[in-house]
Amino acid sequence: MRLRFNALAIALVMVSSMLIAACGAKAPAAEPTAAADVAAEATAAPAEEPTAAVAASADAVTIRYGLWDGNQQPAYEACAAAFTKTNPNITVKVEQAGWGDYWTSVQTGMVGGTAPDVFTNHLAKYPEFAAKEQLVDIQPFVERDGVDMKQYLPGLADLWGRDGKRYGLPKDWDTVSVVYNKDMMDKAGVTVEELNNADWNAKDGGSFGQIIKKLTIDSAGKNALDAGFDKSKVVQYGFVGGGSGGAYGQTQWSHWAVSNGFKFNDGLYATKYFYDDPKLAETMQWYADLNLVEGVAPTLADVKSLGATALFTAGKAALTTDGSWMIGSYVKDAKFVTGFARLPKGPEGRKSMFNGLADSIWVGSKHQEESWQWMKFAASPACANIVGSYGVVFPAIQSGVDAALKAYGDRKVDVSAFTAQATEANGTFLFPVTDHASEIGPIMDATMDSIMLGEKPAADALKAANDEVNALFQ
Amino acid sequence: MTIRTGAQTARRNEITWALLFILPSIIGFLAFFAIPSVRGLLMSFTNWDLLRPAKFTGIANYIKLLSDKEFLHALRVTAYYVVLNIPLQTVIALGMAVMLDRFTKSTAIRGILILPWLLPNIIVALLWLWMLDPTLGFINQVIMSLGFERQPFLGSVTQAMPTIAAINIWRHAGYTAILLFAGLQNIPKDVYEAAAIDGADERQMFMGITLPLLRPVLIFVLVTSLIGSFQIFDTIVITTKGGPVDATRVVYWYIYEYAFVRFKMGYAATISVALFLILITITIIQMRYFNADSSDLD
């Protein structure tokens, strides 16, 4: 940004001086247009000088590396330091920005020529970047250096390939579990074992639904199972979902829906979604009715204002569901005993989305070879072990997972709910990777919000949305 | 050899200086208005997706726009906002202006009135977002302490738009009042004196003198605030992001969403051109209808 501004400023100074000179001679009527064109072009031209200057001297290269999770920044800075030790000519500069700003800056950076060389990518984002020719196909590098794809947990590496090309090496994975407030459970007489063995269905919520009710308390001290429970005066909710979840509902509704028999589509790069599946509709209706009908969960407005995590850690709700990357936040922020329990058993068993991040190299990078070296290291056992030892996320390589488990164990945090889910047969389903994600997003956000707010019945809203989504693939 | 008269030289100097003085504005106008406008118009005939070179697609975007229900929804939502915003804001501002004119000459009070307008829009929006928060917000604490149920405000489909309108009325009413106040000061006091001698009361003077003589200023205020109101965006970015559902998905948000979320820069430009045509039509009608350039004082 600063560079562009400077270019504009210089152009403006040049233009003004030209014009002042012109003023002495003849009428400058025609000048400003041409001159302003120069100014406009100066702003439009990508700022290429700084990277080019560095490229000239091959033995001192700085790679810019972007990530959005501030919790992981120290871990990757440690990786970067270890990397520079073995590659003294390459320095990695880690740049972090929150999820929203991160993607805005990556995208505008691609247009303006200032995107990071290597950046953490997401499965909902990369297919579009790849289609728009913004990512380096790393398959040739992988073959040249003989990177072993089998070192990663099964399924993770495949998510990043398409038609023989490859756009990322897996770095980590995550699953979803139930997060509970132990103090509230004790008070209500619900045991962790009960919670771990709970079942769920979309009709009445199963025994999990009963637990939620038991944990919902009104101002008179009655729980939602008692006669005379007043749902307009709830002081403690039994459950708080992470909002409406949009197109994927990763930590919100995907585990409920899939354990109810729903599937998003027919797999990697499918061209048709099944959002109109009645299995999803009844799941969403149950999920929305927790607030709309039962009053055992806060309103969507409350969740949107603070976030489910904040409501939970502030002691407003007894249970929530969240991803394994949030473990540290819960343990750190909650002023009560908190723990992680298995997802309830749905009609089709326990199901969690299995999602993973990877790094990608931007095509505009002036140092693709060095970028590849860093990316390869970030997805190697050496870095995975470092990242694992920080205990913030589960690395994509088993030895890293072991390091993470040890780190959590040292902090007396039991994360087996997440790992058991990941290793259980048919315990996970993959993030639905398809084209048009950036257009599916707004459609499904509005649709899921309308269901959660009770504006439309789930079945109607999802039918209409599914038609709209599938029309994108026509 | 021609001989220059002193007058000619002076005139030439004047033009040179005049051009020099307006130069910054001309550069600004070209760089930030004229050139982007032309580029935007050209863009509207392409399928530009920001990252790959644009391809000319003729009037395909315009044909799509004609059957775009969400665009119509965006227009409706925007119109709803304008209807909520402009009348109330103008009436409140007019009331404040008349009171300023009649009861006080204090510059301190005038200063306080435009204070909200001096704050950046983003700050105002953040401030109100926090104050109106459904769980922690000050306003809801007050509502609850008075024994009422707390309100979702920006989190509710029905309340979101009126809430945004209220925020912007709060921000703009004072500024509008100052503009109207300036207009009021131009109305000769002897007209009021004459009316008072004839026995007119305050209400009659307001309807018979103040309003008609204020018309040029009032129209200026109406035209500019109407255009400004159609351009509602920043408050929405901060508070609702077009939601809940699509309750506040105004035209500008819709354009933003297409350009920077869906990467359809070409189509976003097409919507912008359509909005431009709508605004210019409204403005022409307003100017014609209200005879903006003449005052009853003439």
Q: Dump pLDDT digits (tens) for B38-86.
A: 999 999 999 998 888 888 998 999 999 999 999 999 999 999 999 999 9
Give the C-alpha separation, A442 to A379, whole Å: 32
Tell me the average pLDDT of chain B: 88
The domain that holds A130 is classified in CATH as 3.40.190.10
* Cβ-nearest to B134 among A20, A128, A302: A302
Taking each helix axis from N to C end, the angle separating A368-378 and A73-86, rounded to the nearest 10 degrees, works out to 120
* Cβ-nearest to B52 among A32, A133, A301: A133
* Cβ-nearest to B262 among A12, A299, A442: A442
Residues 6+ apart with CB under 8 A from A373: A83, A87, A90
Whether residue B52 is contained in a domain is answered as no
Under an 8 A CB cutoff, do B51 and A133 touch?
yes
**At residue A348, does pLDDT exceed 90?**
yes
pLDDT of residue B291: 66
The alpha carbon of residue A439 is apart from the nearest alpha carbon of chain B, in Å, by 5
Mean pLDDT over A440-455 rounds to 94
Mean pLDDT over A173-182 rounds to 96
**At residue B298, does pLDDT exceed 60?**
no
Helix (H, G, I), strand (E, B) or coil at B34: helix
pLDDT of residue B11: 79
Residue A20, domain extent: 1-34
The alpha carbon of residue B157 is apart from the nearest alpha carbon of chain A, in Å, by 8
pLDDT of residue B228: 86
**At residue A358, does pLDDT exceed 70?**
yes
pLDDT of residue A154: 87
Domain shared by A96 and A216, yes or no: no
**At residue A273, does pLDDT exceed 90?**
yes
Q: With contacts defined as CB-CB under 8 Å, which chain A residues touch B260?
A: 104, 107
pLDDT of residue B80: 95
Least confident of A409-423, A460-474, B207-221: B207-221
Q: Which of B11, B22, B67, B135 to mutate to test the interface with A (most CBs of A within 10 A)?
A: B135
**At residue A72, does pLDDT exceed 60?**
yes
Domain shared by A152 and A186, yes or no: no
**At residue B242, does pLDDT exceed 50?**
yes
Q: What is the pLDDT of residues B5-50, one digit of tens each?
A: 666 777 788 888 888 999 999 999 999 999 999 999 999 999 998 8
Q: With contacts defined as CB-CB under 8 Å, which chain A residues touch B237?
A: none
Does residue A34 or residue B290 have the better pLDDT?
B290
**Residue A457 touches partner B, C-beta closer than 8 Å:** no
Mean pLDDT over A357-373 rounds to 95
Whether residue A312 is contained in a domain is answered as yes
pLDDT of residue A20: 36
**Residue A206 touches partner B, C-beta closer than 8 Å:** no
Whether residue A422 is contained in a domain is answered as no
pLDDT of residue B293: 59
Whether residue A431 is contained in a domain is answered as no
Q: What is the pLDDT of residues B93-145, one digit of tens each?
A: 999 998 888 787 788 888 888 888 889 989 999 999 999 988 888 999 999 89
* Cβ-nearest to B27 among A36, A299, A300: A36
Whether residue B17 is contained in a domain is answered as no
Dihedral sign computed on CA atoms, order B155, B160, B163, B164:
positive
Domain shared by A186 and A323, yes or no: yes
Give the C-alpha separation, B151 to B140, whole Å: 7
Whether residue B297 is contained in a domain is answered as no
Q: With contacts defined as CB-CB under 8 Å, which chain A residues touch B27?
A: 12, 15-16, 32, 35-36, 39
Residue type at A173 in one-letter notation: W
Residue type at A267 in one-letter notation: G
Q: Report the domain count for chain B.
A: 1
**Residue A33 touches partner B, C-beta closer than 8 Å:** yes
**What residues of chain A, 242 to 261, have a C-beta less than 8 Å from chain B?**
none
Whether residue B244 is contained in a domain is answered as yes
**Residue A39 touches partner B, C-beta closer than 8 Å:** yes
pLDDT of residue A53: 36
pLDDT of residue A410: 92
Q: With contacts defined as CB-CB under 8 Å, which chain A residues touch B156?
A: 301, 453
pLDDT of residue A183: 95
What confidence category does residue A208 fall into, taking pLDDT thresholds of 50, 70 and 90? very high
Domain shared by A334 and A211, yes or no: yes
Q: Report the domain count for chain A.
A: 3
Whether residue B37 is contained in a domain is answered as no
Share of residues in chain B with pLDDT > 70 (%): 95
Domain shared by A80 and A213, yes or no: no
Domain shared by A123 and A229, yes or no: no
Domain shared by A315 and A463, yes or no: yes
Residue B163, domain extent: 63-290
The domain that holds B166 is classified in CATH as 1.10.3720.10
pLDDT of residue A239: 97
Check: CB of residue A176 under 8 Å from CB of residue A249.
Answer: no
**Residue A58 touches partner B, C-beta closer than 8 Å:** no
Sheet holding A234-240, edge to edge: A217-218, A234-240, A317-323, A176-181, A338-341
What confidence category does residue B2 fall into, taking pLDDT thresholds of 50, 70 and 90? low
CB atoms within 10 A of CB B283: 15
Whether residue A10 is contained in a domain is answered as yes
Domain shared by A245 and A320, yes or no: yes
Q: Which residues of A236-254 are buried (b: 16+ CB within 10 A; e: fewer)?
A: bbbbbbbbbbbbbbbbbbb
Residues 6+ apart with CB under 8 A from A169: A138, A142, A147, A152, A157, A160, A358, A359, A375, A376, A378, A379
Share of residues in chain B with pLDDT > 90 (%): 43
Say whether the ipTM exceeds 0.90: no
Domain shared by A403 and A305, yes or no: no
Domain shared by A263 and A403, yes or no: no
pLDDT of residue B296: 58
Of B224, B216, B217, B213, residue with least CA distance to B283: B224
pLDDT of residue A14: 39
Residue B243: DSSP 8-state: -
Whether residue B212 is contained in a domain is answered as yes
Tell me the average pLDDT of chain A: 87
The alpha carbon of residue B237 is apart from the nearest alpha carbon of chain A, in Å, by 12
Share of residues in chain A with pLDDT > 90 (%): 77
Does residue B3 or residue B271 have the better pLDDT?
B271
Q: With contacts defined as CB-CB under 8 Å, which chain B residues touch A16?
A: 23, 27
Tokens of A193: 């074992």
Give the C-alpha separation, B44 to B63, whole Å: 12
Whether residue A446 is contained in a domain is answered as yes
Q: What is the pLDDT of residues A247-264, one digit of tens each?
A: 999 999 999 999 999 999
pLDDT of residue A436: 92
What does the DSSP assignment read for B125-185?
A: HHHHHHHT-TTT-HHHHHHHHTTPPP--GGGSTTTHHHHHHHHHHHHHHHHHHHHHHHHHH
Domain shared by A183 and A300, yes or no: yes
Helix (H, G, I), strand (E, B) or coil at B10: helix
